[in-house]
Chains A and B, each alone.
Chain A
Amino acid sequence: MNALRMGIRASATGDIARTGPETVARRYRFAPGFIGFSGHFPGNPILPAIVQVCAVVSLAEEEGGKALRLAAVRSAKFLSPIRPGEEVSIGLRRSVDSGDPICDATLSVAGKTSASFQRRLAEEEPPR
Chain B
Amino acid sequence: MSPEVALPMAASLLIPHRTPMRLVDTLLSVHEGCGVTESVLPRTSMMADGEGRLDEVAFMEMIAQSFAAYKGYLDLVEGKPAGEGFLVGVRHLEVTGRAYAGDRLLTSIRTVTAFGGFAVVEGSVARGDETIASGIIKLWLVEDGR
Grouping DSSP codes into helix (H, G, I), strand (E, B) and loop, the A interface class, with mixed when no group exceeds half, is: mixed
Asked if residues B55 and A71 are in contact (CB atoms below 8 Å), the reply is no
A7: min CB distance to chain B, Å: 8
A2 contact from B18, B19, B22, B55, Cβ within 8 A:
B55
Seen from chain A, the residues whose Cβ lies within 8 Å of a Cβ on chain B are 1-5, 7, 35-36, 38-42, 46, 48-50, 53-54, 57, 69-79, 81, 127-128
B16 within 8 A of A: yes
Seen from chain B, the residues whose Cβ lies within 8 Å of a Cβ on chain A are 16-22, 45-51, 53, 55-58, 60-61, 64, 86-95, 98, 135
Query: Which 10 pairs of residues, A with B, have the shortest CB-CB distance?
Result: A39-B18, A39-B21, A73-B93, A76-B90, A40-B21, A127-B51, A70-B56, A3-B46, A50-B61, A50-B57
Given A2-B48, A57-B57, CB of A42 within 8 Å of CB of B89? no
B47: min CB distance to chain A, Å: 6
B129: min CB distance to chain A, Å: 18
Besides A46-B86, A75-B90, A78-B86, 9 more A-B contacts (Cβ < 8 Å) are: A2-B55, A7-B46, A38-B18, A39-B19, A48-B61, A50-B60, A50-B61, A54-B55, A73-B135
Asked if residues B46 and A73 are in contact (CB atoms below 8 Å), the reply is no
Asked if residues A4 and B61 are in contact (CB atoms below 8 Å), the reply is no
Asked if residues B56 and A77 are in contact (CB atoms below 8 Å), the reply is no
B51 contacts which chain A residues (CB < 8 A)? 127-128
- Total of A-B residue pairs, C-beta within 8 Å: 96
Asked if residues B88 and A53 are in contact (CB atoms below 8 Å), the reply is no
A48 contacts which chain B residues (CB < 8 A)? 21, 61
Given A39-B18, A42-B18, CB of A2 within 8 Å of CB of B47? yes
B114: min CB distance to chain A, Å: 18
A74 contacts which chain B residues (CB < 8 A)? 91-92
Give 22 CB contacts A-B under 8 Å: A2-B46, A2-B47, A4-B55, A5-B55, A36-B21, A38-B18, A38-B19, A38-B20, A39-B21, A53-B57, A53-B60, A54-B55, A72-B93, A73-B92, A73-B135, A74-B92, A75-B89, A75-B90, A76-B89, A78-B86, A81-B86, A128-B98
Q: Give the complex CA separation of A74 and B90 in angstroms.
A: 8
Q: Give the complex CA separation of A55 and B135 in angstroms.
A: 20
Asked if residues A77 and B53 are in contact (CB atoms below 8 Å), the reply is no
Given A38-B21, A40-B17, A49-B64, CB of A1 within 8 Å of CB of B90? no
B21 contacts which chain A residues (CB < 8 A)? 36, 38-40, 48
